[in-house]
Amino acid sequence: MAQAGSKPRHYSVAEEMESGSFVANLLKDLGLEVDQLAARGPQVVSKGKKMRLHLDRQTGDLLLNEKLDREELCGPIEPCVLPFQVLFENPLQFFQAELRIRDINDHSPVFLDKEIILKISESITPGTAFLIERAQDLDAGSNSLQSYTVSPNSHFHLKLQDSSDGVILPQLVLNKALDREEQPEIMLTLTALDGGTPPRSGTALVRIEVLDINDNAPEFAELLYEVQVPENSPIGSQVALVSARDLDIGAYGEITYVFSQASEDIRKTFQINAKSGELLLRQKLDFESIQNYTLNIQATDGGGLSGSCVVFVQVIDLNDNPPELTMSTLINEIPENLEETIIAVFSVSDPDSGDNGRMVCSTQDDLPFFLKPSVENFYTLVTNRALDRETRSEYNITITVTDLGTPRLKTEHNITLMVSDVNDNAPAFTQTSYTLFVRENNSPALHIGSVSATDRDAGANAQVTYSLLPPQDPQLPLASLVSINADNGQLFALRALDYEALRVLEFGVGAVDRGSPALSSPALVLDNGEPPLSASVTLHVLLVDGFSQPYLPLPEAAADAAQADPLTVYLVIALASVSSLFLFSVLAFIAVRLCRRGKAASLGGCSVPEGHFPGHLVDVSGSGTLSQSYQYEVCLMGGSGTSDFKFLKPIVPKFLAQGEERVSEANSSFRDSFEFS
């Protein structure tokens, strides 16, 4: 396949073919099979924004998008060639080609002046040649103007002269002297013929006015005037001033300036003052369209004699065209973490010349992109490193094309590139560990706290799910103690927790035990990415005894313990007072009962109290004091000389009695703590 820089392939098509007309099949030249073509993503690109060709991806046929007018595209230039490229996107590759537009005979020769007036003095000698305005034919090659004919007459015959630029110029040659008194005016028909099959033609009327004798023709001061005019000069600006003089007097010495052999473009662009010879602009000059003009100016006196000169106008290029950027391929979104990815393929052009047409492309220096030159002013915009969406999810890229003219002109093209998310970040907890305080005897399903984790990814990759990991000790029934909400990380105690079941405390009446065992278990949080990423954290739940300090400082906060909240101190004092009052009441009650039994000792048996102690003497489950049910039996044995005061064992819930041994082991193995998250 033809690569960038290789010799281009040549194709041709006749002008004025209908849109959709077949030009050529490129499969053989491209070196591809039909089933490979569509996968390569081919497209036809050419200079400018107008796409005149397109490639059928199913057949490989190169087709016309519109009718092509050779005269409009190339004017008099022959051959008329349009360069184009076939761009493959996958992988990136170029195929160079040229399309030649063949001329057809679709224009007839045309005389710009339908009536040509010649003023010839009767004194002119036979054999004198008179140049006539030539016809114009927009076709090229053999279809262009080839010859002239003149209507039969006795005074003139036609002579064809080839100019230096290959144009055929018609001349009338005088066969015999003119006699104004005999025939003051002669009318001739001039016909122009092209070389088409069949030939086309155009005609003009030549009117010859026979003048009185005039023996001096006008003469220009210079035969060649060379001037330089900047493009875009204002309309009405002076281009040049030509001057001729005639030695005759009167009407024979009066000179009139006119264009000679001027094309339509020249007549549209310039005008000449017939009296002064001042050459002015009728419209602005455009270097990109025409770089120079050759004007023939004729000076004719009142007797019909004339002289001519040439004005060569060179158009000076100005930097009046900013560069143009044509985007061929553009990607607006790419995933993060990809190395050296092509974002765009584009071409640049500038119709100016020299430094005015040389260009430099650039992007912002602070962005992770660079421009990679390709062939014939093609560039690719490429990432120079992997992008990180979490650092930046959107880039506004400005491609600046600047020419090297004076002043420098530039064109900017803005691209917004979105970076799509990839699951490359694991969730992270807001804290490395959590410590929560829970009173014993809590109600089931109590919300005891929350954990929180965040994920820097976006969308589904950032949605986290919370769950509890199995505890290190398989004997710890964590699943029956604590649960976690998978969506928001809220923690719940599934049943009442018992401080005494997790740690054996030795205390006396009125003593405050400040020990606080901890339950802990690793916690797992997952995001919803593919693959899912996770993070874990350790959370400590401290069970606070009913008589214990309700707030336990964290180990790292020991330095702040000296500045305890006064409310805590008041609460401890209140608890101690209540405990003392309770102990005093119990002792008083026992003393009263002993006294009553002393009176009944003579009965020789254990007296029956007036009433049984209530089955739940102390049951203050919601106030932080003892939660178990106790029964007391007081019996004084007569004659024994001794009395027994028995405290029966408390009534313990069945689940605690069954798991008492296991809990004791758990306390020793876990050192009064379990971990969960």
- Convert the pLDDT of each residue in 100-144 to its tens digit: 999 899 899 999 999 999 999 888 999 999 999 999 998 888 898
For residue 437, name the pLDDT band (cuts at 50, 70, 90).
confident
Considering the segment(s) 115-211 as one domain, its CATH architecture is Sandwich (2.60)
Q: Give pLDDT, residue 502.
A: 57
Residue range 37-90, pLDDT digits in tens: 888 888 888 887 788 898 998 898 999 999 999 988 888 888 999 999 888 888
Contact 43, 378 (CB under 8 A): no
Q: What is the DSSP string of 354-372?
A: GGGG-EEEE--TTSSEEEE
The C-alpha atoms of residue 518 and residue 451 are separated, in whole angstroms, by 17
Residue boundaries of the structural domains of the chain: 9-102, 115-211, 219-316, 324-420, 428-523+533-544
For residue 283, name the pLDDT band (cuts at 50, 70, 90).
very high
Q: Give pLDDT, residue 539.
A: 61
Residue range 229-276, pLDDT digits in tens: 999 999 999 999 999 999 888 888 999 999 999 999 999 999 999 999
Q: Which are the contacts of 407, defined by CB distance < 8 A and separation ≥ 6?
A: 319
- 504 residue type, one letter: V
- The predicted model gives 481-489 an average pLDDT of 88
CA dihedral 470, 472, 475, 481 (to 10 degrees): -50
Q: Give domain 219-316's CATH number out of 2.60.40.60, 3.40.50.300, 3.30.70.260, 3.30.830.10.
A: 2.60.40.60
C-alpha pair distances (Å), 221 with each of 63, 299, 519: 57, 11, 116
Q: Give domain 428-523+533-544's CATH number out of 2.60.40.10, 2.40.170.20, 1.10.1060.10, 2.60.40.60.
A: 2.60.40.60
Q: How many C-alpha atoms does 297 have within 13 Å on its Cβ side?
A: 34
Q: Which are the contacts of 501, defined by CB distance < 8 A and separation ≥ 6?
A: 656, 659, 660, 663
3-state per-residue secondary structure call for 513-544: CCCCCEEEEEEEEEECCCCCCEEEEEEEEEEE
The tokens for 674 are 């379990």
> Domain spanning 324-420: which superfamily?
Cadherins (2.60.40.60)
The tokens for 183 are 């025939």
Q: Give pLDDT, residue 335.
A: 94
The C-alpha atoms of residue 579 and residue 585 are separated, in whole angstroms, by 10
- The predicted model gives 400-427 an average pLDDT of 93
Domain at 9-102, CATH class:
mainly beta
Q: What are the backbone angles phi and psi of residue 329, rounded to the nearest 5°?
A: -140, 135
The C-alpha atoms of residue 279 and residue 129 are separated, in whole angstroms, by 28
- Backbone Cα Rg of the chain: 55
The tokens for 645 are 């005061």
Contact 310, 164 (CB under 8 A): no
Residue range 540-572, pLDDT digits in tens: 566 665 544 443 344 343 334 334 445 556 677
pLDDT exceeds 80 at position 519: no
Q: What are the backbone angles phi and psi of residue 641, rounded to the nearest 5°?
A: 75, 0
pLDDT exceeds 70 at position 368: yes
* pTM, rounded to two decimals: 0.56
- 63 residue type, one letter: L
Q: Give pLDDT, residue 242.
A: 97
Q: Give pLDDT, residue 166.
A: 80
Print burial letters for 609-621: b (CB count within 10 Å at least 16), e (below 16).
Answer: eeeeeeeeeeeee
Is it true that 9-102 and 115-211 share their CATH fold?
yes
**CB neighbours of residue 159 within 10 Å:** 15
Q: Give pLDDT, residue 568.
A: 57
Q: Give pLDDT, residue 578.
A: 83
